[in-house]
Structure 1
Amino acid sequence: MNAQDFDRWVQASLNAFEAALDDLVPAGAPAGLGEAMRYAVLGGGKRLRPLLVLASCAAVGGDSFAAMRAACSVELIHAYSLVHDDMPCMDDDVMRRGKPTTHVAFGEAQAMLAGDAMQALAFEVLTPDTGIAPALQARLCSLLARSAGHDGMAGGQAIDLASIGKQLDEVTLRDMHRRKTGVLLQASVMMGAACGPASTQATQALADYGAALGLAFQVVDDILDVTQDSTVLGKTAGKDQDANKPTYVSVLGLEAARALAQQLRAEAKAALAATGLADVSHLSLLADSVVERDN
């Protein structure tokens, strides 16, 4: 697949995804809650997690309706986590996706409620009355819940907050980032795979791909935090360094962090080669986009 074909696939997938998400996030939730929810999740972001769901589903020949619902649900979880992480009691950030953070735009209480509502909506989206078999609903909910909870995103954020001003070794840093960022990206891949008849071999190899990609994403994030400005990033640059948080750059150094990102990309592609699937080109090119991105 060439770059133009990939770009066309990305654009078509994102157009369908944005339309589906727009339909699912209610504008009419009471007392302005719907407005805050839509502000937080619509019309911004890289949408990497939904693309991973859709690409993984396509690779295994899965059900497109279930995959689109899964793509929306994982983005809702991601968006809720950003709303909460940006609040003054957590990372205290004022810019996200090139605009004021949700608590700046709507106040802290409304932002907290918007995050809560998006988290609940994510699981509502996965459990429609028709269109997704109950067993698949349960599998998708399990994958998403485990990635967002104490062993995943929430646990990673807890470690992150507890590590401010501390020196971490690479093993501990890797575990923190695996939980905080990597597991949800891996779950995106696995949710897409769950929508089709993936073999045990393919499922394990896709899990390995997701793990390598998830860590690569965070390594690149740490690199960009010290090499790009806020305008390019769409969020406050140098935030981790200013907050004295451990990162791959602070632990390994910039060049070693760059080398690690390349190594992880190679590991992700090796895992794809081990799937035995006929066409994993979308997933392979998404790995390239993660490592080569500038924001």
Structure 2
Amino acid sequence: MILVTGGLGMIGAQTARALTDLGQTVVATAHRRTERPSFLPHDVIVEQLDVTDAAAVSALGDRYRITDIIHLAGSIPGEDRVAYFRADTAGLLTMLDAALSWRVRRFAVAGSLGSYLGSSEITWHEGLPLPAVAAPHPIIAFKKAVEPLTTNALRDTGIQALVLRIGSTWGPLMDPATPFNAVPPYLSSVLRGERPSALHAHDGGDFCYAPDAGRAIALLVTADALGHDVYNISSGQPFTNGQLIDAVRAAIPDAQLDVLDGRSGGPGRDPHLDISRLTTDTGFAPAFDLTAAVADYVTWRAYHAR
């Protein structure tokens, strides 16, 4: 049985869904969320769990024979950044303790494309050195720290660490007003019948639709063998705002959209994640291009608030 912490979140629920599609049994945990997504298969077991509670995590292992852990649970920082770092570090260490106690095969943990910030490359791949630059947000700072903590903690234990450098992911269940991805707020404005702010046609960057992110993670965790401990998770293709606007017009023909020429920051391109390593080791290929993702999301939002 595979454990997915944060299993009712945007990426966690899609990961649990993809695992069941691959024939796996899954227990998904959530701390504050209680609503089960409609797309989550009924045979996914859902448990309420605070991953910082070592006794509760241990008890979960007594109830289920956990063979692999996908640790996606995390909190949103408030004004007290130290409290955020303390809570999410405690959750990580508790789950690493569980991995060692249960002798799981693989321990996958959510990292971020933010680890590459400061790189002069346009296509970010796993072989790049990670720049020593100030993290612009506490989540990015924590996700970057997760990598050496996890890989070092599991070194020589027989448990394979998997760092998931997750790209700019959006989709069903994401907060429509999220500050972390511009697409859901933009689409939400259109769905409310508003005229969203004009976008520069050539701005853009990395793009990953949540169902594809979940499937990529599921393929990695269930693979017979993996040659690496760090993998980019994304579509492998950058997008531009011009393409986004075309996709929105295809899904919502009467949308009132304004586009500005060029880029907001001058000539150049925005970086995106390379997924060659993921594709080679798992055969992953994204099922959604931008047009299909927008159409799917618009259909979802017709029946769901987020």
TM-score (norm 2): 0.30
Higher relative contact order (CA closer than 8 Å, sequence separation 6+): 1
- Higher-helix-fraction structure: 1
Higher-Rg structure is: 2
Q: Which has a greater percent of strand?
A: 2
